[in-house]
Structure 1
Amino acid sequence: MNDQPILLILMIAVGLYTFNLWREDCKNAQAGKPSPSALPGATPASAKACIIAALGALVILIAETWGELRLGLSDQQSKITVLFGIYTLIAAFIEELIFRGFIVIENKGRALRWAGVAMASVLFAALHPFLWKWEDGVFAWTFSAKGWFSTAAVFASSLWFYTVRFASFNPHRSLLPCIVAHATKNMGVILIKGAQGFVVGLF
């Protein structure tokens, strides 16, 4: 998507619009007037919950970066533009709303909830294009050590984001700590790519 700036700008705009709707629902919940049609997880969360969520995401990112360096995979990173980097920060919200918001099993017991978390995390990881690509209308598998490693890192991240959603330090099941964790990890990826020379151009 690096080479499709118009599409990226459109998706950023849609993401910001949806985030504003979620934020308004969250403000109503904080005011004690929750909307019956509120978006999932539009509830308040403490600063402590957000900090714990972000720190966990950073631990995963550090482990991922260390692993890439140890395995000699860091030079196989994809290149991104600044615009694409901005999109990934907005995508953090959209992905959290879809996966940690809508794709959850509630009120069916802990075993079924975490089975659903595992399956949703497999789907979440598989949707990231590390083991496949779509170019010029052609789909192809791209199995590689880097692809498997990055997919595993995304799977681990998804498990953490779900854990944050249902953790005791997030009693209102707010999506805010999940969003903060996801955006923190994505920002870290952008900074690491920039330091290693994989951010190329504005758009």
Structure 2
Amino acid sequence: MTDSPWLTLALIAGGGYFTFLWWQDFSAQRAGKPNPGALPGATPTTWLAVIVAVLGGLLIVAAETWGELRLGIADEQSQVTVLFCLYTLLAAVIEEIIFRGFIVPAESRGRATLLGGVFAASLVFALAHPFLWSWGDEGLTLNFGTKGWFSTAAVFVSSLWFYYVRFMSANSSRSLLPCFAAHGAKNLAVIIIKAAQGFVVGWF
């Protein structure tokens, strides 16, 4: 996490702004007045799609938590603040717009192209999370321990799930709402578990 509360606040403000823009496009689409330049996936979907997405996200968190306990790496989690927890909830929206919206668009041509794009984007998504690496005063540090590989694999699986709910048949409109719901539910569950284990420290 970032050590600067001001940077975290700036990221929260940016996340809130793009969430607002997406919601405007979504509201216009739902009102029958779609915006030609709308952000991706700003379309309604079914409750079934949202519920399935959330259940899958929670199942991934449960499996990840169980795996950390079995491997004896639960105590190697990073500490976070309440402010950073708020940022992670908004980050779920921004990351979905970027990765599930722009990087692998709904208009991907051909099943092979779509699957290849999903795999490659999920790999980038997983490696972008600082589990196998960290950046500090001494520059780049690589962390190739069990915790680093396990957490990176969990993010990779999560990304595959988020892509699945974007393109599953229950989400025929290719809405990003199931992706937001799955990612947000997963991040919220992680926050609750971290708090229960004593890894949420301070407000900012």
Q: What is the distance in 2 between the residues matched to 1:25 and 1:100?
A: 17
The alignment's TM-score, normalised by the length of structure 2, stands at 0.97
Question: Which amino acid is the alignment partner of residue 185 of structure 1?
Answer: K
Structure 2 alignment gaps of length 5 or more: none
Quote how far apart the aligned CAs of 1:107 are. Answer: 3.9
Alignment partner, residue 164 of structure 2:
163
Q: What is the distance in 2 between the residues matched to 1:91 and 1:136?
A: 25
Quote how far apart the aligned CAs of 1:129 are. Answer: 0.1
Q: What is the distance in 2 between the residues matched to 1:103 and 1:137?
A: 32
Q: What is the distance in 1 between the residues matched to 2:140 and 2:13?
A: 28
Quote how far apart the aligned CAs of 1:136 are. Answer: 2.0
Secondary structure of 1:37's aligned partner: coil
Alignment partner, residue 34 of structure 2:
34
Alignment partner, residue 139 of structure 2:
138
Question: Which amino acid is the alignment partner of residue 119 of structure 1?
Answer: A
Alignment partner, residue 62 of structure 1:
62
Question: Alpha-carbon deviations, 1:27-62, whole Å to 9, x = none?
Answer: 111112111100000101122211110000011110
The share of aligned pairs that are identical, in percent, is: 61
Whether 1:201 and 2:186 are equivalent positions in the alignment is no
Secondary structure of 2:134's aligned partner: strand
Give runs of aligned pairs for residues 18-29 of structure 1, distance below 5 A. 18-29=18-29
Q: Say whether the 8 Å CA contact 1:2–1:80 is kept in structure 2.
A: no
Question: Which amino acid is the alignment partner of residue 71 of structure 1?
Answer: L
The alignment's TM-score, normalised by the length of structure 1, stands at 0.98
Alignment root-mean-square deviation, CA: 1.0
Q: What is the distance in 1 between the residues matched to 2:200 and 2:51?
A: 27
Alignment partner, residue 83 of structure 1:
83
Quote how far apart the aligned CAs of 1:137 are. Answer: 6.2
Alignment partner, residue 50 of structure 2:
50
Question: Which amino acid is the alignment partner of residue 190 of structure 1?
Answer: I
Question: Which amino acid is the alignment partner of residue 185 of structure 2?
Answer: T
Q: What is the distance in 2 between the residues matched to 1:162 and 1:189?
A: 20
Question: Which amino acid is the alignment partner of residue 78 of structure 1?
Answer: S
Q: Say whether the 8 Å CA contact 1:130–1:151 is kept in structure 2.
A: yes
Secondary structure of 1:57's aligned partner: helix
Q: What is the distance in 1 between the residues matched to 2:182 and 2:12?
A: 19
Q: What is the distance in 1 between the residues matched to 2:9 and 2:96?
A: 20
Q: What is the distance in 2 between the residues matched to 1:123 and 1:23?
A: 27
Q: Say whether the 8 Å CA contact 1:2–1:81 is kept in structure 2.
A: no
Secondary structure of 1:134's aligned partner: strand
Alignment partner, residue 116 of structure 1:
117
Name the stretch that deviates more: 157-166 or 30-39.
30-39
Question: Alpha-carbon deviations, 1:77-118, whole Å to 9, x = none?
Answer: 111001010000000000000000001153410111011000
Structure 1 alignment gaps of length 5 or more: none
Question: Which amino acid is the alignment partner of residue 165 of structure 1?
Answer: R
